[in-house]
Amino acid sequence: MLRLLFWIALIAAAVWFWRKLKSTSSPSQAPREQDAPPMVRCAHCGVHLPRDRALALEQQWYCSQAHLEQGPGTRER
């Protein structure tokens, strides 16, 4: 019985140590939230898109030229 508890404890410690090592190396591989471009919402349809791909008119953002020409949509959503 003592051997079984010893092996369970050893395996649990190894799994914990492996996860700890894995989590410390992950932030360098995963993109950080600070690197993400700011998002804006289309005034016509409400879709969110990166600000550098959006079209601006009078402090409102649009996802396409067609929505820019149609103007703001209804706020029923």
- pLDDT tens figures, 14-70: 999 999 988 876 555 555 667 788 999 999 999 999 999 999 998 899 999 999 999
Dihedral angle sign, alpha carbons of residues 59, 74, 42, 67: negative
- At 51 the pLDDT is 92
- At 29 the pLDDT is 55
pTM: 0.53
- At 11 the pLDDT is 96
CA–CA distances in Å: residue 64 to residues 8, 9, 47: 59, 59, 11
C-alpha span between 27 and 40 (Å, rounded): 26
